[in-house]
Protein backbone atom coordinates (compact mmCIF):
# COMPACT_ATOMS: atom_id res chain seq x y z
CA UNK A 1 0.00 0.00 0.00
CA UNK A 2 1.14 3.55 -0.63
CA UNK A 3 0.38 6.98 0.79
CA UNK A 4 0.34 10.35 -0.96
CA UNK A 5 2.29 13.28 0.45
CA UNK A 6 3.43 16.68 -0.76
CA UNK A 7 6.95 16.60 -2.14
CA UNK A 8 9.29 17.73 0.62
CA UNK A 9 12.97 18.38 1.21
CA UNK A 10 13.27 14.64 1.97
CA UNK A 11 11.55 13.38 -1.19
CA UNK A 12 12.72 16.04 -3.68
CA UNK A 13 16.33 14.83 -4.24
CA UNK A 14 15.42 11.26 -5.30
CA UNK A 15 12.59 12.59 -7.46
CA UNK A 16 14.96 15.08 -9.13
CA UNK A 17 17.35 12.20 -9.83
CA UNK A 18 14.52 10.14 -11.32
CA UNK A 19 13.44 13.06 -13.54
CA UNK A 20 17.02 13.39 -14.79
CA UNK A 21 17.08 9.67 -15.60
CA UNK A 22 13.59 9.29 -17.09
CA UNK A 23 13.01 12.71 -18.64
CA UNK A 24 16.49 14.08 -19.27
CA UNK A 25 15.57 16.73 -16.70
CA UNK A 26 15.45 18.93 -14.84
CA UNK A 27 14.06 20.82 -17.83
CA UNK A 28 11.02 19.64 -19.74
CA UNK A 29 9.38 21.22 -22.77
CA UNK A 30 5.65 21.66 -23.32
CA UNK A 31 3.65 23.96 -25.57
CA UNK A 32 6.71 25.88 -26.70
CA UNK A 33 8.06 26.58 -23.21
CA UNK A 34 10.90 25.12 -21.21
CA UNK A 35 10.09 24.38 -17.54
CA UNK A 36 12.52 23.80 -14.68
CA UNK A 37 10.83 20.98 -12.78
CA UNK A 38 12.86 21.72 -9.63
CA UNK A 39 10.67 24.77 -9.10
CA UNK A 40 7.36 22.88 -9.41
CA UNK A 41 5.38 21.67 -6.42
CA UNK A 42 4.00 18.18 -6.46
CA UNK A 43 3.04 15.00 -4.70
CA UNK A 44 4.76 11.67 -4.19
CA UNK A 45 3.30 8.24 -3.69
CA UNK A 46 5.33 6.74 -0.87
CA UNK A 47 5.65 3.01 -0.37
CA UNK A 48 8.09 1.39 2.04
CA UNK A 49 9.76 4.77 2.58
CA UNK A 50 10.47 5.38 -1.11
CA UNK A 51 8.77 7.27 -3.92
CA UNK A 52 6.71 4.81 -5.98
CA UNK A 53 5.56 7.66 -8.21
CA UNK A 54 5.32 11.41 -8.38
CA UNK A 55 3.53 14.27 -10.08
CA UNK A 56 4.67 17.86 -10.56
CA UNK A 57 2.49 20.77 -11.57
CA UNK A 58 2.49 24.50 -12.17
CA UNK A 59 -0.35 26.95 -11.49
CA UNK A 60 -0.57 30.18 -13.50
CA UNK A 61 -3.40 32.38 -14.73
CA UNK A 62 -6.11 30.22 -13.17
CA UNK A 63 -4.88 27.04 -14.81
CA UNK A 64 -2.93 24.07 -13.50
CA UNK A 65 -0.54 22.24 -15.80
CA UNK A 66 0.64 18.77 -14.87
CA UNK A 67 4.24 18.95 -16.01
CA UNK A 68 5.46 15.50 -15.00
CA UNK A 69 3.66 12.33 -13.95
CA UNK A 70 5.51 9.08 -13.43
CA UNK A 71 4.43 5.89 -11.74
CA UNK A 72 7.43 3.75 -10.93
CA UNK A 73 5.19 0.78 -10.07
CA UNK A 74 2.52 0.47 -12.71
CA UNK A 75 -1.06 -0.82 -12.56
CA UNK A 76 -1.45 -0.20 -8.83
CA UNK A 77 -3.52 3.02 -8.85
CA UNK A 78 -0.57 5.30 -8.15
CA UNK A 79 -0.99 7.52 -11.22
CA UNK A 80 -4.70 7.99 -10.58
CA UNK A 81 -4.16 8.84 -6.92
CA UNK A 82 -1.51 11.41 -7.82
CA UNK A 83 -3.70 13.04 -10.49
CA UNK A 84 -6.65 13.22 -8.07
CA UNK A 85 -4.41 15.04 -5.60
CA UNK A 86 -3.43 17.62 -8.26
CA UNK A 87 -7.09 18.10 -9.18
CA UNK A 88 -7.85 18.71 -5.50
CA UNK A 89 -5.00 21.24 -5.19
CA UNK A 90 -6.09 22.99 -8.40
CA UNK A 91 -9.63 23.25 -7.06
CA UNK A 92 -8.36 24.79 -3.83
CA UNK A 93 -6.39 27.29 -5.94
CA UNK A 94 -9.62 28.08 -7.87
CA UNK A 95 -8.18 26.96 -11.20
CA UNK A 96 -10.52 26.67 -14.20
CA UNK A 97 -8.83 23.56 -15.51
CA UNK A 98 -6.06 21.04 -15.10
CA UNK A 99 -4.21 20.32 -18.32
CA UNK A 100 -1.16 18.53 -19.65
CA UNK A 101 0.55 17.50 -22.83
CA UNK A 102 1.97 14.17 -23.83
CA UNK A 103 3.61 13.11 -27.03
CA UNK A 104 1.98 11.10 -29.78
CA UNK A 105 4.15 8.05 -29.07
CA UNK A 106 3.04 7.77 -25.44
CA UNK A 107 0.14 5.42 -26.04
CA UNK A 108 0.06 4.28 -22.40
CA UNK A 109 -0.39 7.88 -21.18
CA UNK A 110 -2.98 8.67 -23.85
CA UNK A 111 -5.00 5.65 -22.74
CA UNK A 112 -4.55 6.54 -19.04
CA UNK A 113 -5.76 10.14 -19.39
CA UNK A 114 -8.77 9.19 -21.50
CA UNK A 115 -9.80 6.41 -19.12
CA UNK A 116 -9.35 8.79 -16.18
CA UNK A 117 -11.80 11.23 -17.80
CA UNK A 118 -9.57 13.89 -19.31
CA UNK A 119 -10.79 15.31 -22.61
CA UNK A 120 -8.52 15.57 -25.62
CA UNK A 121 -8.44 19.34 -26.09
CA UNK A 122 -6.04 19.66 -29.02
CA UNK A 123 -3.42 17.94 -31.11
CA UNK A 124 -0.52 20.26 -31.82
CA UNK A 125 0.86 18.96 -35.10
CA UNK A 126 4.64 19.24 -35.43
CA UNK A 127 5.02 20.73 -31.94
CA UNK A 128 8.03 18.56 -31.19
CA UNK A 129 10.11 20.51 -33.72
CA UNK A 130 9.81 23.56 -31.45
CA UNK A 131 10.34 21.43 -28.33
CA UNK A 132 13.61 20.12 -29.79
CA UNK A 133 14.80 23.68 -30.42
CA UNK A 134 14.32 24.28 -26.69
CA UNK A 135 15.63 20.89 -25.60
CA UNK A 136 17.73 19.22 -28.31
CA UNK A 137 18.08 15.99 -26.29
CA UNK A 138 14.49 14.95 -27.04
CA UNK A 139 14.82 11.77 -29.10
CA UNK A 140 13.34 11.37 -32.58
CA UNK A 141 11.85 7.98 -31.72
CA UNK A 142 9.82 7.14 -28.63
CA UNK A 143 7.83 4.22 -27.30
CA UNK A 144 7.62 1.30 -29.74
CA UNK A 145 9.89 3.21 -32.15
CA UNK A 146 7.07 5.65 -32.95
CA UNK A 147 8.40 8.98 -34.29
CA UNK A 148 7.86 11.71 -31.66
CA UNK A 149 6.24 14.52 -33.65
CA UNK A 150 3.13 15.94 -31.99
CA UNK A 151 1.78 17.04 -28.61
CA UNK A 152 -1.62 15.84 -27.43
CA UNK A 153 -3.21 18.30 -24.99
CA UNK A 154 -5.65 16.87 -22.43
CA UNK A 155 -7.76 18.80 -19.93
CA UNK A 156 -9.96 18.30 -16.90
CA UNK A 157 -12.43 21.14 -16.41
CA UNK A 158 -13.04 22.30 -12.85
Distance CA 132, CA 140 (A): 9
CATH of the domain at 144: 3.40.630.30
What is the pTM for the complete model shown? Answer: 0.93
Domains in the chain: how many in total? 1
Distance CA 7, CA 141 (A): 31
The string of pLDDT tens digits covering residues 20-47 is 888 887 888 888 889 999 999 999 999 9
Distance CA 78, CA 1 (A): 10
User: Contact at 8 Å (CB) between 91 and 122?
Assistant: no
Domain that holds residue 26: 3-157
**The pLDDT of residue 75:** 81
Amino acid sequence: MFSIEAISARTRPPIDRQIAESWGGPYIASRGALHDTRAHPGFAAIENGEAAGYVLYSIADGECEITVLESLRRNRGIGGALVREVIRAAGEARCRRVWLVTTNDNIRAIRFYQRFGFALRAVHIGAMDEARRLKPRIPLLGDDDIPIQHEFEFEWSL
